[in-house]
Amino acid sequence: MTQTATKPQTELLPEREAGVLSLPEAPLEDSREWQAQRLRLLWGRRQFLLRVAGIGLLASTFIAFLIPKQYTSTAQLMPPDAQSTSGMAMMAGFAAKGGGGLGSVAGDLLGMKSTGALFIGVLRSQTSQDRLIQQFDLKTVYRTQSAMDARMRLDQSTSVSEDKKSGIITISVTDHNPQRAAALAAAYVDELNSLVAELSTSAAHRERVFLEERLKVVKQDLDEASNQLAQFSSKNNTIDIQQEGQAIVTAAANLAGEMIAAQSQLEGLRQIYTDSNPRVQSLNARVRELRKQLQKIGGTGSDTAKNSAQGVDQASEMPYPSIRSLPLLGVKYGDHYRHAKIQATVYELLTEQYELAKVQEAKETPSVKVLDPASMPEKKSYPPRLVIMLMGTFLAAVLSMVWVLGSAQWEEVDPYDPRKVLAQEVAGALKSRLPWISRNGFAAHASEPTSKDELDSSRPPASGASGR
């Protein structure tokens, strides 16, 4: 039983050892000694390391302060209301048909799930960028002659993002001038409002556009009708034909009554006195004057026929029209007055509908609500000078350590190693072609043997031969 149990173990042991590669492991003491040697080497060259680190700090500091400052201004927009999303699909379709700067944006508008994505597309559109470039003269600021290059620079300086959870849209603009950065961020919000209003294709918008055009036509007709009525009234001495007619008839009746009374009194005096009597002559003159005034008010048949042929009453010395011309003037005045009144009524109704359409359009148009307006940044956003200085110092220190350790490793290499011999030959060739290389430390290796014959002649004999 004991032999059968130990026999498989002795057979499996060689197989398990055969499947595992046995690597020679360095003793722990050798590893610690190697680390101590490297640390001792670095400590011995600490002045060189500190000097290189100081040079790296100075160089990185110079570079950090040489990079121009950049300022970032940020504006945040609230997500649009849910009520204003009804006309967004129509707006997207209109943008797709319009082409131009919004043509690249309109391809995805119909498939967008939120108006926030649509707002981002409008902000990134070529139309809004061209308006900003023209408004702030960014071609001169970016020192470019091409509008495409200016748009690329503006796009690189602008960041537009949307928070997926809250829907808040963030607009960040980076520029070397803090005032211009804040102005650009605010201009993005203004352009968004303007473009959304321009691209709105809701029913209220179409109604408002129709009423606006109709109001222009009605306003012209109203002005023309009012002008015709004014010219007719001024030419024929009429203001309100009905009131004037009543006043003229009343005045004529009073004159006729006075004339009849004067004639009766005159007939009574003639029965008593002769025509040469002063009282008879005075009363007779009064009757003639009253008849003359009554004829002026009533007019004559020839004047009426002449006025009927011309269509209007000619201006006379009297500040009011005659009674005979009142029917003709009433018809003409009524036509002009009715036409002007109709146009005024239509204009008043259209104006009321136009205002209601503007209110309804404002309700249906997606409104841009500013959560945080763009403000002038007080601190720079780039470059991070402290980080650049620390990274430059750290990189210089690391490179100096690598140089020290690499130099020590190079010195430990056998001078007869073919790889080292090749490197020395390449260094010698470079030194012969580039004399300034000797000033960089390669001249120290010039005295070392470079040819294979010299190496063979200077190579010491083998240990076996020396022993013999």
286/34 Cα distance (integer angstroms): 149
- State what percent of residues in the chain have pLDDT above 70: 68
Q: Are 358 and 48 in contact (CB under 8 A)?
A: no
Res 247: pLDDT: 65
Which pLDDT value is given to residue 274? 78
Per the CB < 8 A criterion, the answer to whether 133 and 150 are in contact is yes
The answer to whether the CB of 385 falls within 8 A of the CB of 90 is: no
Greater model confidence, 382 or 441: 382
pLDDT, residue 126, reads 92
Q: Distances in Å between the alpha carbon of 149 and those of 49, 176, 178, 444?
A: 45, 18, 22, 53
Residue 419 CB neighbour total at 10 angstroms: 9
Q: What confidence score (pLDDT) does residue 50 get?
A: 93
- Specify burial of residue 6 (Cβ count, 10 A radius: 0-12, 13-18, 19+): exposed
Q: In what order do the strands lie in the sheet with 169-175?
A: 158-162, 169-175, 71-78, 369-372
Which runs of consecutive H residues, i.e. helices, occur in 199-277?
203-235, 241-272
Structure tokens at 167: 């829907």
Look at residue 312 in the predicted model and tell me its pLDDT: 46
pLDDT reading at 131 higher than 90: yes
- pTM of this structure: 0.53
Q: pLDDT tens across 328-362, in order?
A: 666 676 777 778 888 888 889 999 988 888 888 77
Question: Is residue 183 predicted with pLDDT exceeding 70?
Answer: yes
Q: Residue 195, Cβ neighbours under 10 Å: how many?
A: 21
Question: What integer is the mean pLDDT of 270-294?
Answer: 80
Assess whether pLDDT exceeds 60 at residue 447: no
Q: What is the pLDDT of residues 362-417, one digit of tens each?
A: 777 767 789 899 999 989 998 999 999 999 999 999 999 999 998 888 888 888 88
Tell me the C-alpha to C-alpha distance, in Å, between residue 106 and each of 46, 112, 116, 262, 384.
64, 10, 14, 93, 39
**In the predicted model, is pLDDT for residue 89 greater than 60?**
no
